[in-house]
């Protein structure tokens, strides 16, 4: 390799590190940033609701984004130090993992990541969802998810209160669009399908399919079994914020759709093999998700029968919807042509059945002649 090539290579790495240092240093002034001042001003506004809405819609500053290629181990190590999940740098960790939809440990050599040109401690400033949702201003709590952009938003009476990253279901076990609602929550859930899966801060939104929000690995792509993975701080916040379903004490069951409404809006483009459209944004103003004008009129999610474990199918309401859902979703383009969904399997049930068979075989052997 020539001297010039060596020089260009190390100059590029040096400039990347300088950029990281500049962002890190600028973060020390985060509490005085324009974005944080806007949110503080809204909280302190004593005028009309319209005055708060106008302030939110017009005063969030433009935050530019730039891409960084992790071309050397030195750059990777610098990223891991600068945005470490530790007390002094946790706010920076939140921003970078949110913008890239992945946990820090999944950033690897050869990756391209997005970094902001400036920072705002209140991450709502980076939201792809509107700061105010007029159609939801009479709904106390409501949640909306963009599978396309691997992110969700929580609203209270129309005001955005949380913007967070998620990793949803992979193509053959997808997180399907439509209306859901919170059913129940559990601080630590051991998966009913696979007992090796430990799922902190689980919030179930579909009883029979088992679709839920919970903490789990976040590699920056839709990879789950239809659930919505989150980083730990987001999972805990959502667990504490969301309202679960009411219980019908006479029928000893949950009242359908009585918990916090949850709306899944769109689908992911699985023809894209790396990352997602969030990596194409050049600022926090490039994308604004259009939210439903009549959220409560949105269609209940269509879930194919293959996504319901056999042991849960007996409790389905309107089973015909589940039987026809696969063909309807293919007609709508939600499931791509040629894609066959993987059937939901209760691995715990299979293991228990095998164990029972082994125990029965052992007992029979002990009773056989000569034993």
pLDDT number for residue 230: 98
pLDDT of residue 117: 95
Q: List C-alpha distances in Å: 231 to 103, 104, 125, 159, 219.
A: 7, 10, 19, 23, 11
Per-residue model confidence as pLDDT tens digits over 153-162: 999 999 999 9
Q: Which H/E stretch holds residue 261?
A: strand 261-264
pLDDT band, residue 42 (cuts 50/70/90) = low
The confidence score (pLDDT) of residue 45 equals: 59
DSSP letters spanning 39-107: HHHHHH--S-HHHHHHHHHHHSPP-BEEEEE--SHHHHHHHHHHT-SSGGGHHHHHHHHHHHTS-GGG-
pLDDT of residue 57: 67
Kindly report the average pLDDT of the chain as a whole number. Answer: 87
217 pLDDT more than 50: yes
pLDDT recorded at residue 336? 96
Which of 85-94, 308-317, 350-359 shows the lowest mean pLDDT across its residues? 350-359
Q: Judge contact between 222 and 150, C-beta under 8 A.
A: yes
CA atoms within 13 A on the CB side of 44: 6
* pLDDT tens-place string over residues 308-337: 999 899 999 899 999 999 999 999 999 999
Lowest mean pLDDT among 5-19, 143-157, 261-275: 5-19
99: pLDDT strictly greater than 90: yes
In this prediction, residues 255-273 reach a mean pLDDT of 97
Q: Are 37 and 60 in contact (CB under 8 A)?
A: no
Q: Is the pLDDT of residue 28 over 50?
A: no
Q: Is the pLDDT of residue 225 over 80?
A: yes
d(CA 237, CA 27): 24
pLDDT of residue 277: 98
> Which tokens belong to 303?
């879930």
**How many other CB atoms are found less than 10 A from the CB of residue 319?**
13
Q: What is the mean predicted confidence (pLDDT) over 14-22? A: 47
Residues 273-290, mean pLDDT to the nearest whole number: 96
**List of domains in the chain:** 1-32+63-118 (no CATH), 129-362 (2.40.440.10)
**DSSP secondary structure letter of residue 293:** S
pLDDT in tens, 128-170: 999 999 999 999 999 999 999 999 999 999 999 999 999 999 9
CA–CA separation, 239 and 260 (whole Å):
12
């Amino acid at each position: 390799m020539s001297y010039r090539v060596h020089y260009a290579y190390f100059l590029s790495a040096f400039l990347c590190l300088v950029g990281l240092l500049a962002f890190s240093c600028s973060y020390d002034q985060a509490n005085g940033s324009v974005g944080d001042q806007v949110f503080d001003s809204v909280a302190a506004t004593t005028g009309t609701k319209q005055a708060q809405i106008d302030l939110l819609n017009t005063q969030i500053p433009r935050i530019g984004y730039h891409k960084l290629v992790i071309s050397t181990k030195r750059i990777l190590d610098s990223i891991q130090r600068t945005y470490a999940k530790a007390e002094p740098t946790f706010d920076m960790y939140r921003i970078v993992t949110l913008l890239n939809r992945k946990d820090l440990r999944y950033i690897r050599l050869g990756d391209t990541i997005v970094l902001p040109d400036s920072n705002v401690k209140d991450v709502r400033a980076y939201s792809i969802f509107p700061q105010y949702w007029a159609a939801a201003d009479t709904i106390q709590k409501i949640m909306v998810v963009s599978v396309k952009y691997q992110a969700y938003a929580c609203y209270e009476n129309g005001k955005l209160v949380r913007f967070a990253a998620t990793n949803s279901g992979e193509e053959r076990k997808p997180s399907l669009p439509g209306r859901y609602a919170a059913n129940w929550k559990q601080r630590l859930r051991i998966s009913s399908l696979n007992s090796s899966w430990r799922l902190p801060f689980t919030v179930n939104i579909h009883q029979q399919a088992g679709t839920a929000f919970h903490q789990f690995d976040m590699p920056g792509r839709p990879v789950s079994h239809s659930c919505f993975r989150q980083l730990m701080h987001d999972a805990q916040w959502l667990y504490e914020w969301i309202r679960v379903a009411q219980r019908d004490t006479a029928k000893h069951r949950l009242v359908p759709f009585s918990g916090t409404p949850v709306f899944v809006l769109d689908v992911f483009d699985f023809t894209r093999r790396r990352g997602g459209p969030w990596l194409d944004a050049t600022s926090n103003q490039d994308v604004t998700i259009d939210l439903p004008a009549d959220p409560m009129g949105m269609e209940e999610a269509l879930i194919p029968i293959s996504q319901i474990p056999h042991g849960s199918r007996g409790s389905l309401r309107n089973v015909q919807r589940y039987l026809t859902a696969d063909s309807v979703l293919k007609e709508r383009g939600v499931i791509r042509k040629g894609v066959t969904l993987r059937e939901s399997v209760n691995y715990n049930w299979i293991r228990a059945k095998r164990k029972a068979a082994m125990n029965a075989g052992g007992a029979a052997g002990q009773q056989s002649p000569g034993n």
